[in-house]
Structure formats: C-alpha cells, structure tokens
C-alpha cells in the first residue's frame, strides 16, 4: 500500500514536491492545469527538474495527473468536446514531461442526449488522444451519477472499455470511494467492500484498477452527489477504509487523499493515520 495526497501546483512544482515529502506522501496527484479553466500548464524546465528530482529522492511514486473539471469527453456540444479532447492530449504530453505514470479523467455528462451517444463520444475522444501519444495510462474515474454523468456504474465503465480494444492496454480505472458511495455502492463494512470489489472484477477487472481516491462522503449513500470528508469522518466510516486497505487483493494499491484546503501541518497526521489503518484499530483521519 502507498498513500499520498492531491496537492496544489499553485506555488510551483518545486514547492509541490517539497510539500509531498514533508507530509509523508508515497504517491502524489496534481492537476494538469487550472482545474476550472482550459488553459494548460507550461512549467519551467528547471521547476520540472526540481520536481522530478525531489520525488525521486523521497521515493514518491507513482505520479497521477488529473485533468481539469471542465473536461467533458461525452459533451454533445462540438466546441466543448473539441476542447476536452485537446485538454486530454495536452495532459498526456505533460505527463511524459513530469514523469507521471497516469492521467486521470472524468468521463463527463451526456447532457440529456442518452447513455449510448455519450459513450460513443467518450470512446472516440479516448481513441484519438491515445493514438496520438505514447506512455502514460489514462485512468477513467467513476462518478456519483449526478447531472447525467457517465461512469457511475461498473457496467458503463466495462462497456466503454469493451469498445476500446485497440488502445485497451493504455486504459485503466481510478475508483473514487465517495463517488462509489454516492452511486449506491456500500463501502461501510468488510462485506460491502467485498461485494463491491467482486462486482468490479466481474464487470471491469481488478487488473484495470490502478489507484483509489480515498474520500469519505458527507452525504447519504445513493444520493448521487459528491461531498468529500476525510476518511473516517463521513458516512462511509473508518471501518470501510480499513476493509479496503486490508483487502487481500489491494495490498499493492495506491491511495490518494483529496482533502479540503488545509495547512501542510494538518495533512501530516492524516497521511500517517491512513497508512496505519492496516495495523491499528479505532480512530479516524481527522483534519
């Protein structure tokens, strides 16, 4: 098991890597640019070198690059769809520059045009982007299912992967626990985790799972909404996360904590407490 944080790059990649080391990260996730904008990141080469060097010195790996929230690979609007494809392609190129192993993307919303039409557009966008690049694996992140979002159910993710055989080796999945909870999957107990993983393996394949966003949820299961809480401080509860990290099939998994904006000092005990879930009883990961 490896544990890390989603960290801001607002103060530069050098500072981001230093924060990762200070907070005890073993893995790291960052945005490929402004999360609420289309403008890509163009980091200074010296900053990139310092970023990669600091991560290497502190054994922080792998690196996950998350594309902005505006991206909608299922968009029926041709302008939004074109911008989304371009942003994904740019992120893949940046991932190679930064030495990132994975690019994480939401699938987006079909905006009322129907599941099949949305899946078709996502498949075309992914095929085009992956055919034009090499290296990093694209991870499809599940959604809670609000606002006609795709990928809230394993059946949808499995269907999409089935349409992409030519580039299937470059595709995987990153599961967000808060999104799973919002979509109705029970992660609050060992039995719930066991049943959820069994469904995922049957419909998608555990070999496709390359990361977990370990987020608790402040909303009820099946609400179709996403409101993060620190692990153990929400509706899922600490026993659910303990069941995940102790599961026999997830011993080598990377867990990324997507915490609210808090000071670096507050992140240190949260990361440490999550690392200890496979060893100790009780408590939560408080911020």
Q: Give the helix ranges, DSSP H, for the chain.
A: 13-22, 45-57, 78-98, 115-131, 154-162, 177-183, 190-203, 238-245, 264-275
Q: What is the pLDDT of residue 286?
A: 60
285 belongs to a structural domain: no
283 belongs to a structural domain: no
287 belongs to a structural domain: no
Q: What is the pLDDT of residue 282?
A: 56
Q: Report how far residue 76's alpha carbon sits from residue 107's, in angstroms, rounded to the nearest whole number.
A: 13
Under the banding of pLDDT at 50, 70 and 90, the label for residue 281 is low
If one counts the domains in the chain, the total is 1
Under the banding of pLDDT at 50, 70 and 90, the label for residue 59 is very high
Q: What is the pLDDT of residue 284?
A: 61
User: How many Cα neighbours within 13 Å face the side chain of 68?
Assistant: 19
106 belongs to a structural domain: yes
Under the banding of pLDDT at 50, 70 and 90, the label for residue 40 is confident
Of 33 and 194, the structure prediction assigns the larger pLDDT to: 194
CATH of the domain at 76: 3.20.20.150
Q: What is the pLDDT of residue 283?
A: 59
All residues at 6 or more sequence positions from 269 whose CB lies less than 8 Å from its CB, including other chains: 285, 286
CA 183 centroid distance within chain:
16
Residue 63: in which H helix or E strand, if any?
Answer: strand 63-66
Helices (H) and strands (E) in the chain, counts: 9, 10
pTM: 0.95
Q: How far apart are the first and last CA of the chain?
A: 21
284 belongs to a structural domain: no
218 belongs to a structural domain: yes
270 belongs to a structural domain: yes
> Which range of residues forms the domain containing residue 192?
2-278
Q: Give 67-110 pLDDT, tens digit per residue.
A: 999 999 999 999 999 999 999 999 999 999 999 999 999 999 99
Residue 105: in which H helix or E strand, if any?
Answer: strand 102-106
All residues at 6 or more sequence positions from 153 whose CB lies less than 8 Å from its CB, including other chains: 145, 183
């Amino acid at each position: 098991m490896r544990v890390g944080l989603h960290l801001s790059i607002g103060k530069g990649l050098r500072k981001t890597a230093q924060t990762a080391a200070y907070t005890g990260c073993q893995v790291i996730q960052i945005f490929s640019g402004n999360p609420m904008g289309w403008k890509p990141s163009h980091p200074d080469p010296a900053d990139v070198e310092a970023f990669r060097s600091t991560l290497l010195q502190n054994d922080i790996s792998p690196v996950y690059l998350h594309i902005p929230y505006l991206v909608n690979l299922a968009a029926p609007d041709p302008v939004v769809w074109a911008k989304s494809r371009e942003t994904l392609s740019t992120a893949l190129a940046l991932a190679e520059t930064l030495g990132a192993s994975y690019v994480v993307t939401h699938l987006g919303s079909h905006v009322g045009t129907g599941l099949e039409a949305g899946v078709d557009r996502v498949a075309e966008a992914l095929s085009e982007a992956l055919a034009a690049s090499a290296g990093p694996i694209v991870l499809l992140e599940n959604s809670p299912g609000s606002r006609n979002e795709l990928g809230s159910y394993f059946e949808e993710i499995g269907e999409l992967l089935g349409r992409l055989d030519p580039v299937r080796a470059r595709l995987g999945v990153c599961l967000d626990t808060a999104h799973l909870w919002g979509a109705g999957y029970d992660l609050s107990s060992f039995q719930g985790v066991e049943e959820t993983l069994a469904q995922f393996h049957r419909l998608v394949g555990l070999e496709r799972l390359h990361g977990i966003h370990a987020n608790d949820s402040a909303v009820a299961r099946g609400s179709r909404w996403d409101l993060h809480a620190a692990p153990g401080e929400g509706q899922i509860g600490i026993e659910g996360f303990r069941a995940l990290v102790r599961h026999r099939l997830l011993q080598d998994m990377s867990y990324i904590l997507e915490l609210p904006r808090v000071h670096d000092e507050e992140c240190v005990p949260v990361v440490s407490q999550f690392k200890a879930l496979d060893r100790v009883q009780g408590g939560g990961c408080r911020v």
